[in-house]
Amino acid sequence: MNLQSMLLTAAVASVVSVAAHAEDKAAPAVPAQELKAKTDYCKTCHGVSAQGFRGAVPMPRLAGQQPEYLKNQLQAFIEHRRTNPVMFNVAHVLTPAMLTDLTTYFKDLNPKPLGGGPKELMAAGKKIYEEGVASAEVPPCASCHGPDAKGADAFPRLAGQLNDYMIRKLTNWDKERGQDKANPDNSAIMQPIAHNLTEAQIKAVATYLSYLE
């Protein structure tokens, strides 16, 4: 290691320790062992690398997901804005510090996507993703979820998400998301889009996204 890189390493280390210290005051960090026990538990359903899992119901991929989006969803399960009894049980026992640490943990995982769905739908799906469906007033998905479908902040990553999971979510949007009318949330942004897509369009775009790395 030369002097320049040593100095750089020292500077980075001091920035990190200052940041960690500031974090300490806001919310005590979860001990590594406790975090590991919890993420192991999440992976019993969401797949060994959080890549998603096809069981009786499709378990969504969490790997590479945006922390802010994950946090919003865990909060939505807790507050019954997003209805799912399994995830309510999982989420409502999490301490605020654990909830925060969990959401950042998944961001750095990068397993290969499971893919799925008929490859002949790829071209149609890509077109919808990049151009939207003008006749149905559906804007390009890429305008919010990003050109590479990696998402940003409250906009979720869709790349590598399970096609069967997304098909279910887009089909049932009105019945599962934004269920507390007195407390509207980001799900309202997707509502008209999910509503205006046909079954065939949903299948095509979900298939395309499931193969993206």
CA distance 162 to 115: 7
- The contact pattern for ligand HEC, residues 146-165, with x = CB under 6 A and - = no contact, is --------xxx-x--x----
The minimum distance between CB 3 and ligand HEC, in angstroms, equals 43
- Nearer Cβ to ligand HEC (12/130): 130
- Of 92, 91, 104, 80, nearest to 30 by C-alpha is 104
Position among 63, 190, 204, 212 found at the interface with ligand HEC (CB under 6 A)? 190
CA distance 17 to 20: 5
Which structure tokens are listed for 51?
């890549």
Stretch that binds ligand HEC, among 10-18, 21-29, 35-43, 116-124 (CB under 6 A): 35-43
Burial profile 171-206: b = 16 or more Cβ within 10 angstroms, e = fewer: bebeebbbbeeeeebbbeebeebbeebeeebbbbbb
**Separation in Å, CA 108 to CA 21, 50, 187:** 22, 11, 25
3-state secondary structure of 163: helix
Residue 73 as a binder of ligand HEC (CB under 6 A): the answer is: yes
- Nearer Cβ to ligand HEC (20/41): 41
Residue 144 as a binder of ligand HEC (CB under 6 A): the answer is: yes
The minimum distance between CB 205 and ligand HEC, in angstroms, equals 4
* The length of the chain, given as a count of residues: 213
Which structure tokens are listed for 149?
């479908």
Residue 38 as a binder of ligand HEC (CB under 6 A): the answer is: yes
Binding residues for ligand HEC restricted to 76-105, rule: CB under 6 A = 84, 86-87, 90, 102
Residue 70 as a binder of ligand HEC (CB under 6 A): the answer is: yes
Q: State how far Cα 162 lies from the chain centre.
A: 11
Which parts of this chain interact with ligand HEC (CB under 6 A)? Answer: 38, 41-42, 44-46, 57, 59-60, 62, 70, 72-74, 84, 86-87, 90, 102, 128, 138-139, 141, 143-145, 154-156, 158, 161, 166, 169-170, 176-177, 185-187, 189-190, 193, 197, 205
